[in-house]
Amino acid sequence: MNILVTGANGQLGREMQIVSRHSQDHYIFTDVIDGYQKLDITRLDDIRLCVKDNHINCIVNCAAWTNVDAAETAGEIVRQLNAQAPEYLAVAMKEVNGLLVHISTDYVFGSELYNEPCKETQKGTPTGVYGQTKLLGEQLVEATGVEYLIIRTAWLYSEYGKNFLKTMLELMSSRTQLKVVFDQIGTPTYAGDLARAIYEIIENRKFTNHSGIYHYSNEGVCSWYDFAKVIASIANNTTCLIAPCHTNEFPSPVKRPAYSVLDKTKIKNTFGISIPYWMDSLKVCMDRLLNE
């Protein structure tokens, strides 16, 4: 099986490179930066040519515009990357009877207050351009009739790129006090765990006749404040005081989901996936990061 991974230099793309090293399948990693096979996913003809030349059977789309605040003013490029590109990838896979694995986000929720984990069937209520375009991307993929797995995730972090974990470690080492919001609740997700789940679904060929939307994050629940406190504890940082604060103390152009814990029952039952607890995965990631 020939598998194309887009957005290969991002957090999830980098982790996909690691988990796929011993696969009998053939993985091709693309991005728009040097060091990877180049592919512009906003151009349908380019995707079709890449699929044809490499005999692609499956695309894992890790590419997206992910800067939530900047999406409000970035213009058409956000819609192109988050909605149009997934549709084009789906069209290309539909034409060869292939599979599209598309990564989405908890930001498809947000304008309504929830107090129980969000299910896949829950109506999308995005509050900003990022969430709106990601939800539109899901809808456009589904409309093509392609075999697809849309996997919504949340609070992604890893050893790579820019993320909350790496930002906190940097700030804790240079400041004596930090304020972190305690009124946004969700679950941190280690990109390595998500990559492993995607890899196992593909490797075991469990996806047949299971097209649909799925939720994946690590197990457990916390606030960003709790997340930061655990990071400090694992890093043995006792010099930086971390204090809780309200979201409105950090004005933002986008209203973020106050509660976006994802219900993972469907993905666990459908594919037999075991999902690690968030603190356990954080320790694994930080051990790798701090001992590089």
In this predicted model, what pLDDT tens digit does every residue of 179-196 receive, in sequence order? Answer: 999 999 999 999 999 999
Residue 25: pLDDT band with limits 50, 70, 90: very high
To which H or E segment does residue 59 belong? Answer: strand 58-61
Residue 2: pLDDT band with limits 50, 70, 90: very high
Give the Cα separation of 227 and 147 in Å (integer).
Answer: 36
Asked whether 227 and 164 are in contact (CB, 8 A), the reply is yes
Q: Please check the confidence at residue 111 and state whether its pLDDT lies above 80.
A: no
Half-sphere exposure of 180 (CA within 13 A, CB side): 24
CA angle 51/55/56 to nearest 5° reads 60
Per CATH, the homologous superfamily of domain 2-162+189-219+260-276 is NAD(P)-binding Rossmann-like Domain (3.40.50.720)
Q: Please check the confidence at residue 276 and state whether its pLDDT lies above 80.
A: yes
Give me the residue spans of the domains in the chain. Answer: 2-162+189-219+260-276
Cα–Cα nearest to 221, from 264, 167, 192: 264
Residue 245 has phi, psi (to 5 degrees) of -150, 170
What would the mean pLDDT of 87-113 be, rounded to a whole number?
A: 94
Q: What is the pTM of this model?
A: 0.97
Q: What is the pLDDT of residues 127-168, one digit of tens each?
A: 999 999 999 999 999 999 999 999 999 999 999 999 999 999
Give the Cα separation of 267 and 258 in Å (integer).
Answer: 23
Which ranges in the chain belong to alpha helices (H)? 11-19, 44-54, 76-79, 85-95, 129-143, 164-174, 191-203, 224-234, 265-271, 278-290
Which sequence positions are flagged as catalytic? 130
